[in-house]
Structure 1
Amino acid sequence: MAAPKKYPDDLRARAVRLYRESDPKPTIRRLAEQLNVHHEALRNWIRQAEADAGERHDRPTTEMAEENRRLRAAVAFDAPGSPTRRGDAAPSASSDGDAPTVT
């Protein structure tokens, strides 16, 4: 389970919009102080918005990141030894007390 978000989505959207619509561009640190958010959080939000808009190619878009998360979960579900793996038979104990066998 993911950690709860420290900043609400509407604050994030407003902060990115303020930065992108400003001319000249404010320093990220100063804008972050004005909005009472950490400057690295604001920098990451701006970089993600640029990736989502196709302006950056050094990080995945939000859509790509969500797809990767979904695929990783599906692969983990199908991993050998996973207790929830589809198609695996549950081990059963033999009647003579030996080690369990897969049926």
Structure 2
Amino acid sequence: MARPSKYSAEFRSDAIALWRASAGRRTFKDVAADLNVNPETLRTWVRDADGALAGGPAPRETHSEVAWLRAENARLLKAEKEWQLEREILRRAAQYFAKEMK
């Protein structure tokens, strides 16, 4: 089992944002020295964040997050069905009135 990180998620995201803001002008080593972290640690954080943005492996969700995501997904699917039904009704109404205009 891996030991927990001594850096908070907020610190990591701030470090990634700092590196991205200075990308091209400063190296991982320079930014990491300012933050007192290992340059490879910072590089790993940035690579993991880029992978998550590119559809890479997502971090593991907690049970409550998974339950919330499932509930939200069900709500969105129900709303989509309602929108599809409304769209079909409007399509049929448009066809009806188009025939009546001819």
Question: Is 2:57 aligned against 1:61?
Answer: yes
Contact 1:19 1:25 (C-alpha < 8 Å) held by counterparts: no
- Residues 23 and 3 of structure 1: is their aligned pair in 2 closer, same or farther, counting only changes over 3 Å? closer
CA deviations on 1:67-98 (whole Å, 9 max, x unpaired) are: 8xxxxxxxxxxxxxxxxxxxxxxxxxxxxxxx
- Partner letter of residue 58 of structure 2? T
- Could you tell me which residue of structure 1 aligns to residue 13 of structure 2? 13
- Shift of residue 17, structure 1, vs aligned partner: 0.7
Equivalences for residues 5-84 of structure 1 within 5 A: 5-54=5-54, 60-63=56-59, 66=60
- Identical counterparts, % of pairs: 36
- SS of aligned partner of 2:11: helix
Contact 1:12 1:45 (C-alpha < 8 Å) held by counterparts: yes
| Distance across 2 between alignment mates of 1:30 and 1:22 | 10
Structure 1 runs not aligned, ≥5 long: 68-103
- Partner letter of residue 57 of structure 2? T
Larger fraction in helix: 2
For the aligned residue pairs, the C-alpha RMSD in angstroms reads 2.2
Equivalences for residues 82-101 of structure 1 within 5 A: none
Instruction: Name segments (4+ residues, structure 1) moved above 4 Å.
Output: none
- Shift of residue 25, structure 1, vs aligned partner: 4.2
Aligned length: 61
Tell me the TM-score normalised to structure 1 length: 0.50
RCO higher in structure (CA 8 A, sep ≥6): 2
**Which stretch shifts more, 18-27 or 39-48?**
18-27
